[in-house]
Amino acid sequence: MMGAKLLLLLVASSLCLSAAIAAQQTCPADLDSKCGDAASGDWEGEFFPGIPKIKYEGPSSKNPLAYKWYNAEEVILGKKMKDWMRFSVAFWHTFRGTGGDPFGAPTKSWPWEDGTNSLDMAKRRMRAHFEFMEKLGVDRWCFHDRDIAPDGKTLTETNKNLDEIVELAKKLQEETNIKPLWGTAQLFMHPRYMHGAATSPEVKVYAYGAAQVKKALEVTHYLGGENYVFWGGREGYQTLLNTDMKRELDHLASFLQAAVDYKKKIGFNGPLLIEPKPQEPTKHQYDWDVATTFSFLQKYGLTGEFKINVECNHATLSGHSCHHELETARINGLLGNIDANTGDPQIGWDTDQFLTDISEATLVMSSVVKNGGLAPGGFNFDAKLRRESTDVEDMFLAHISGMDTLARGLRNVVKLIEDGSLDELVRKRYQSFDSEIGALIEAGKGDFETLEKKVLEWGEPIVPSGKQELAEILFQAAL
């Protein structure tokens, strides 16, 4: 009987997806289309003709191209859901991801791609990107400079290419009211950065990286970006045998300070964010985790200038949970943005999968709610389709799933708050510090002599149970 019900459910879901995809097509985005001049960067066909605008239909919906939990305008805990989430599409994974890996060739060839990295192709890709966001109902995006525009033979030519694509992006933003959550410079792919950028032992590479960040800051500001991110994928080392760690860390700090100075000079008021990662591609990356990054910022007097962009997959690579990294950032006033993704616990590298675990999403959202939200940061889907997912609609399905998962996490946090049992368990666990002597300790006035006298007065302490199992039951009840 259960098998028959499951079969009916699968058939219904399949029919819903087929119906959505079979909607009337208008000007399909493939290079054989007669709708426009496909060889021209000015071509503006519809890129996702079979995909409707994604709408909220509620938990009972069987339509895979609909939101079940994410209702953008619904007010939860005093804010619209879209203001809690501030979702963003990552240009690089969504529109530059090929499905290739170290063991296999690319598997994805989107209909609008012509196999080149030309300016015309970059323009067509940018138009596809904005149509995707409009249909998804997301009004923010994130980009690397080199993902949206091709390298030239010189820095001048490269900047000219970037300017041309940025002008198109600006025009599309004005038409759609979409803007960047953040921008960044890609300082890890080009061979010149094989030893790093800010930590390269070659001063000419350091200077080139600075020039690239200068331009990336300018275009992020020009496009109305709300933040700017530093991810130092190669700011680290492969071996200490040939590395002067102190000198490299000093150089990194000088680079970041120069970025702060230039940001202020051009009037960019958005936060600068550092995205920690322990390793890959380097053996050891200097911003290993949130605590290491906080220590670095403190040492070099940069704590007031930077916040943290926590990526969940990076958290697990560093041996922490995403919740741990978020809480470490939050309690130190550093939580600025979240790269919403996850890794596979059976795989030891950065798989950048869409977050679909309801339990993890609930923990993530509990930190966000305690932080009062993420603005001017948000959730960026730094996540990619699996190598084997090669249909255009998979791009939508992946983002819908990720958005619904986090929305469901937010709804679960509401349940936990309204029930109050878990918060009360935590309060009771620390209630001994609500005493006079506890208040003295928390005020930094609990000297050892006074505490010794209290111990002699009290005798051996009776230590209560931590009630971990009860805490887990209360948490799971909200899921």
Tokens linked to 297: 């910022």
Residue 207 CA to its chain's centroid (Å): 28
Tokens linked to 151: 């390298």
Q: Is 79 exposed, middle or buried (0-12, 13-18, 19+ CB in 10 A)?
A: middle
β pairing state of 75-76 and 79-80: antiparallel
What is the gyration radius of the CA atoms in the chain, in angstroms?
25
Place of tokens 């996702």: 48
Decide if 197 contacts 236 (C-beta within 8 A).
Answer: no
Catalytic entry in 93, 129, 144, 251? 144
User: What residue type is assigned to position 281 of the chain?
Assistant: P
Runs of H (alpha helix) within 282-321: 290-299, 312-317
- Asked if 314 is an active-site residue, the reply is no
Tokens linked to 220: 């992020």
Please work out, in degrees rounded to the nearest 5, the angle formed at the alpha carbon of residue 232 by the alpha carbons of 228 and 235: 145
Strand locations in 127-279 (E):
140-144, 179-184, 227-230, 236-237, 272-274
Q: Whole-angstrom Cα distance, residue 398 to residue 389?
A: 10
Runs of H (alpha helix) within 86-197: 91-96, 119-136, 145-148, 155-176
Q: Whole-angstrom Cα distance, residue 140 to residue 143?
A: 10
H or E segment and range at residue 12: helix 2-21
Residues 6+ apart with CB under 8 A from 329: 290, 294, 307, 308, 310, 335, 336
Residue 383 CA to its chain's centroid (Å): 8
Catalytic residues: 144
